[in-house]
Structure 1
Amino acid sequence: MRSLERLAIGKVSTVDRHVLADILLRAVTAAVFGMFAIAAISRWLAAPTRVTLLLFVVENCFTTGLALVSRMPVQRDWRPVSLFFSLGGTYGCMAYNLTPGIHLLPETAGASLQIAGIAWQLFAKGSLKRSFGVLPANRGVVSHGAYRVVRHPMYLGYFVTDIGFLLANFSLFNLSIHCFQLAMQVGRIVREERILETDIAYRCYRKAVRYRLIPMLF
């Protein structure tokens, strides 16, 4: 009887630690985004024609806001490598140099790509509702809406939006950040699917939707 009580107490303690860690992660996320937003908006106010910079803030506002109100998952991967991939993939773009770079695309063309990426993210997030978060987790299998196209459509939206900003504000530093973030997203996808593949519903979904991120490629 005592061993059962100790086991129950141990489980409760583990849950409490995970709840506290989740609250801390959300607080850090909000703080990092706040500092990024202040820096980016101040630069945009100094140069209001930089629409790509404003849209860059809007995109990250959506991402951070949804992460802050997401529901607690049934299963989540708290391992350091998963934390590294997840934070790098989600917020690595905040390391971009926000000063004007080389215009490989005109500002309007870059902004158009960003708007397309943001619209796709909203479509994907509308399909997910509150089943969204930073760390790899099983929050239930979603197979409708944008999830009929690729298995990780929100990350595809990030990729398109960030490409729009990169091409209108190009530098070798920003290119290296973009490549780093893309590598983090791929690692994040692999970590997420390791958790989800234990769910028979996800294994069936994976057979129906072949590609993870980019149709016909990956």
Structure 2
Amino acid sequence: MGTRPDSPWGTTMNSAPNDYGLWGLVFLNSVIFVGFAYSFFKPANLRDWRSFGAYGAFIVALFAEMYGFPLTIYLLSGWLGTKFPGVNLLEHDAGHLWWLITGRHGNPHFGALHILSFAFIFAGFTLLSKAWHVLYHAQRRHELAKTGPYRLVRHPQYIGFVAIMFGFLLQWPTMLTLGMFPALLVMYVRLAISEERDSEQAFGEAWREYAKATPRFIPNLFKASHARQAGGH
């Protein structure tokens, strides 16, 4: 079914430059960001592959809309075309929907949300790297991972994945990734609980003591700061 020539989408497609259809960039960016995470996370079992696969699906869905076909722009084209009649919806900048909807002007790549998104993405990858390093050595020694990021929370690797995905949502929201994000949060919580059951079976009382003192996802920064000060005396 074709688009009506008088619709905002039809007018844009027929008369304005189209910054999409760049499937090579979709593939390249997907490989880079999935491969980068793999180099830090290195899935070792089925649970790891489930968490990593969910992240990978999010990344592919994101870049498919960022450079391939703008499904969200297409579905919202009637409303966007009416609200922003002078905007070419097929320009790349229009895909920064937070920037567009709030009526910002200029280059969205220098906006506060875009810069904040890079901070979350960088922090997420850094956390993945540090968490994997600790976990790898703990597994080799058949010990609980309790140092580094694991000193503050029990599941820093899942926090890292969530931080990366949240950063991309700040940068380039789509209907698909916005829908996937809460579902992935629920999935990561369930994976974390399943992982904890296995850890309790493997380490018994040592795990229970660790779990009692260490939050699952949200660090107690006041307690951590007090512990550091006490350890310094």
The TM-score, its normalising length taken from structure 2, stands at: 0.54
Structure 1 match to 2:133? 126
Structure 2 match to 1:143? 146
Shift of 1:113: 1.6
CA deviation string 1:59-108 (max 9, x = no partner): 532432356574xxxxx7x6xxx699646645442452322333436433
Distance 1:122 1:59, change over 3 A: farther
Q: Specify which of 175, 180, 199 is matched with residue 178 of structure 2.
A: 175
Distance 1:87 1:61, change over 3 A: closer
For these two proteins, the number of residue pairs brought into alignment is 154
Superposed CA RMSD in Å reads: 3.4
Shift of 1:180: 1.5
Contact (CA 8 Å) 1:89, 1:185: kept in 2 or not?
Answer: no
Residue pairs, 1:1-218, within 5 angstroms:
42-43=25-26, 54=29, 58-65=32-39, 68=42, 70=44, 86=51, 89-98=54-63, 99-100=65-66, 101-104=95-98, 106-129=113-136, 140-198=143-201, 199-200=203-204, 201-209=206-214, 211-215=215-219
Take 1:180 and 1:127, find their aligned partners in 2: how far apart are those partners? 28
SS in 2 for 1:125: helix
Distance 1:202 1:106, change over 3 A: same
Distance 1:92 1:188, change over 3 A: farther
The one-letter amino acid of 1:215's match is: P
Distance 1:87 1:121, change over 3 A: closer
Distance 1:152 1:44, change over 3 A: same
- Name the % identity: 25
The TM-score, its normalising length taken from structure 1, stands at: 0.57
Q: Structure 1 stretches of 5 or more lacking a match?
A: 1-38, 46-53, 71-75, 133-138
Shift of 1:191: 1.0
